[in-house]
Amino acid sequence: MKTKEVIKRAAAFSEPFRVTKGKKFRLKDVDPGDTLGLKSEDKDKAKEALALGVEVLADLQDKLYAQDKWAVLLIFQAMDAAGKDGAVKHVMSGVNPQGCQVYSFKAPTSEDLDHDYLWRCMKCLPERGRIGIFNRSYYEETLVVRVHPEYLKKQKLPERLITKRIWENRFSDIANFERYLTNNGVAICKFFLHVSKKEQKRRFLERVENPDKNWKFSSADMNERGYWDDYQEAYEDMIRHTATDYAPWYVVPADNKWFTRLVVAAAVIDTMSGLDLAYPEVGPAHMKELAAAKRALLAKK
């Protein structure tokens, strides 16, 4: 399949999960088990399609790096065990490591808490020509901090700033920040991997029962599961307020990992293909240098 055809299909495949400003959105309308009609027996075809997508991504990333004008920021948010790590691993498997930077944001350090909440993410933004991946991000400040108010108290904010509008203010700040980034050549693509509570339970049990996956299990994850409904409400509010035309959210069904990865790859391809990426053109002087170098190399044994 030609690159243009892959790009065309990627746009059509990812569009149903794209959320932008003004688009009516309710999280309960998204089925975590949705596969757009694809069956489990279609897994092999899906893997083949993903492999093609990985090849196209590798080509786009090479041009991104060579052109050195745009940067791409991919943000992944999800409940525990939704498959963020696996999506990054499989979708970005063909990308040159020199052109990709991955950051996972855990609980903020004491140094982080002495700065504004965007600070620790801002210093990790991708350079021009590179793809930056945030495994969790500044959006945690409207999620876990909202679900657990005690975390907000640790942020040393003046009391008069902690009002009922604090979440709306943060949504506004983030939207403005992302507008600033896009105005400076950073293309943003955001993913919420939407896993069901039932599937999360199955994956937690697998981590407990499979010795090779014991290391993935954390009692903290179990504790957060107890706040499931609170998180669902927080995610819905976050997506509604921060989905924009310039930094859309993709709410991706995550109960079937093979499908999740296909949608993520399609969305990244669609985003990067819209940047008019190309290898830099070589001027006349450089062409003369190349011709001279070729003559010199051919003249030597």
Instruction: Give the model's pLDDT for residue 155.
Output: 92
- Which backbone phi and psi does 276 adopt, to 5 degrees? 55, 50
What is the pLDDT averaged over residues 110-115? 95
Q: Is residue 259's pLDDT more than 90?
A: yes
Rg over alpha carbons for the chain, rounded to the nearest Å, is 22
Q: What is the pLDDT of residue 157?
A: 93
Mean pLDDT of 222-250: 96
CA neighbor of 190 nearest in space, from 117, 138, 259, 120: 138
Q: Domain ranges in the chain?
A: 3-299
CA distance 104 to 126: 14
In degrees to the nearest 10, what's the CA dihedral of 158, 161, 164, 170? -110
Residues 3-299: name the CATH superfamily.
P-loop containing nucleotide triphosphate hydrolases (3.40.50.300)
Tally the residues of the chain: 301
Q: What is the pLDDT of residue 1?
A: 58
Mean pLDDT of the chain: 94
pLDDT confidence of 41, banded at 50, 70, 90?
Answer: confident
Say which amino acid occupies 214: N
Residue 217: per-residue pLDDT: 87
Which residues have a Cβ under 8 Å from the Cβ of 260 and sit 6 or more positions away? 83, 87, 193, 252, 253, 254
Tokens 């070589």, located at residue: 282
Which region among 16-25, 68-77, 146-155, 179-188 has the lowest average model confidence (pLDDT)?
16-25
